[in-house]
Structure formats: structure tokens, C-alpha cells
Structure 1
């Protein structure tokens, strides 16, 4: 039997709602979501780590993770760029999530261009699915992916939050 992963959860008030921030004891960011989607976040944690594979304890996150995210929401957009992230997921999802992290603040990309970026140009739908399964939104900026026609398409936190996040960075469509 594998060892149970000890996770910590912190809560942060942001201009667009209460954010949940989950880290492990080493300070790696494991999940980020909105309080109104806490059930979804817990479900995804179970998918990635198993129903009994983790514990989730309320605390102030170590290593300044919550502080860095707070600074991001206060306008220091680079504050989250180097936060350490460790997530579950398939190798394909990990490829997509790494590519998302390379999208600079102030730009957006289409799902099709993201698929090309990871060397899988015909995997547009799979890229969309991986983007939607991103457990560490904001830090891995899935909100910067848009439809090929420039439409905002979905965002797990809601389109209003996506609009706010894009505007905060001064993002422009590709």
C-alpha cells in the first residue's frame, strides 16, 4: 500500500472570489480552484491521487505560495511564474500543462496552436480536454487559451473570471 499524500489547503480572498490553494508539505502547488467549485476540486484530487490516497488539512500554505498568488492578484503578475507545481495527470496532460505555462502574460493562443506547440496538431480536442483538466489554473494559465475564431470558450471558473484574468494581464488574442 502506498503512503498517503499529505496536502494542505489555504483560502485566499481575491477580486473575483475566494480561491482554494492546495500544496503538499514540500510546498509544491497541487491544486487551485474557486470556493464555489470546491466539490469539483475534491473530485479531481481523488482522480489524481485516489480516494484514500491523500488527506487535506486546512492551514496557511508554506513556502509563500498563497502570498505569491495574492501578489499576482494585487498586480505583480510575475509573482507566480516560478511557483513549483506537481500534479497528477497523464503524460499528454503534463505536456499540455507545461506548454500552458509558456504562454506569456499578455497573449492568448488557440487550442489548435497549442496542439501544434506540443507536436500533436491533430489532437485539438484532446488538448481542450487536458486544458479543462488543469488542476492549477492561474499558475498554469489555461484561461489564456481561446477558440480559433477568437471566442473565449469555456473556463472552469466561469467566463466572467476568464475575462477578468485576461484583462488583468492586458492579454490580446493571437
Structure 2
């Protein structure tokens, strides 16, 4: 069994995509899929990498996202083994629509947890290995971007800022009407 990989060129640099059994198991802004593979769950790290030219629907969805179809990644199947709590946070994060942002505390609430689980939400974002399909770039610290604070992003704040700007430009700065409303 293998993990199929490809690297897309995007406006913010190379994006490695890793697919296994029809699901996206890794996506990150690096030209080296092995770098991402090394961070995967042990059950996936045991699988060999196999470079391919195209991952079909997964490749098409990512290209569409960068071309302005901000919902193109929403239906992609993802597989990111973790604790039930962390998986719940990632599922909630996928409901935060393009053009929307939430704080870590708000993400915890969206996942059915108490606001005090903000730290767990932050850790889930830090351990997210499927960016931008699991859109951790949409999570800001309390006070958010208006105060010039984007928080952290594994692939650099420049990429986080670009992704937020890309989504805002396409949505006209308005939240996607099909997305779950962010609690305030």
C-alpha cells in the first residue's frame, strides 16, 4: 500500500498533496512530500510514498480553490487520524466558510466544547496536516486581524495573510452564505 503524492505550484509556493485510498491525508506548503509524510500519524507513515503526476479530483479541487472557487475543497474526503476531540475540532473548522474567521475559543464552541477549550483548538490547528482543506488559516487569536494579529500559521504568516486576502477578495469581504455562522 502506498500514499500517492504530487506537488502543485500555487500563487504562494509549492503545495504537496498526499492521497491514500481516495482521501486527502496530507497537504502542506512544501515542495517535499516526504517532509509532510514524516509528520503523519504512524499508521500512515508506515506507507511508502509514490509520486504521481495528478491526483484526479484532489488536484482539480485545489486548482479550483486557487482559481477562486472557494468551496472546491469542501467536499474532499480527508483522513487525519487523531483523538476524537481533535477530529471534532477539525470537522468544526471545515464548517467555517471562506471569508469568515473565528477565534480559538469560538472554534471550541463550534466543536461543542466550552470556550475554555481554546488551547485545545489552538493545538488542533498547530497539528493540522491538511491545509488549506482543513482551513486553520481562518482562525485568529482574540482581537483578530483588525489589531494586526494573525496568530500563528505553520507555513508562515505571509501565506495565512494571502489565503485570508484571497478568500476576502472573492467573497467581497462577506462571509460565504452557505457556511455555518461564526459565533460571536
TM-score (norm 1): 0.88
RMSD across aligned C-alpha pairs, in angstroms? Answer: 2.0
Instruction: Name the counterpart of 1:120.
Output: 113
Instruction: Name the counterpart of 1:13.
Output: 9
Q: 1:9 and 1:50, CA in 2 relative to 1: closer, same or farther beyond 3 A?
A: closer
Instruction: Name the counterpart of 1:129.
Output: 123
1:32 to 27, 32, 35: 27
Contact 2:137 2:163 in 1 (8 A): yes
Q: Deviation at 1:63?
A: 3.5
Rounded to whole Å, the distance in 2 between the matches of 1:172 and 1:166 is 12
Rounded to whole Å, the distance in 2 between the matches of 1:67 and 1:50 is 23
CA offsets, 1:143-168, max 9 Å, x none? 00000111210001100000000011
Q: 1:119 and 1:97, CA in 2 relative to 1: closer, same or farther beyond 3 A?
A: same
1:60 aligns with 2:53: yes
Contact 1:48 1:88 in 2 (8 A): no
Q: Deviation at 1:72?
A: 0.8
Q: Deviation at 1:42?
A: 2.5
2:62 to 47, 65, 69: 69
Unaligned runs of 5+ in 1: none
Q: 1:61 and 1:91, CA in 2 relative to 1: closer, same or farther beyond 3 A?
A: farther
CA offsets, 1:55-100, max 9 Å, x none? 1110134342112101111111121111111111111110010000
Choose 138-147 or 111-120, whichever is displaced more. 111-120
Instruction: Name the counterpart of 1:96.
Output: 89
CA offsets, 1:15-66, max 9 Å, x none? 0000000001x32100001116756513212x44265x21111013434211
Aligned residue pairs: how many? 167
Choose 115-124 or 83-92, whichever is displaced more. 115-124
Unaligned runs of 5+ in 2: 176-183
Q: 1:163 and 1:19, CA in 2 relative to 1: closer, same or farther beyond 3 A?
A: same
Deviation beyond 3 Å, 4+ runs, structure 1? 36-40, 171-174
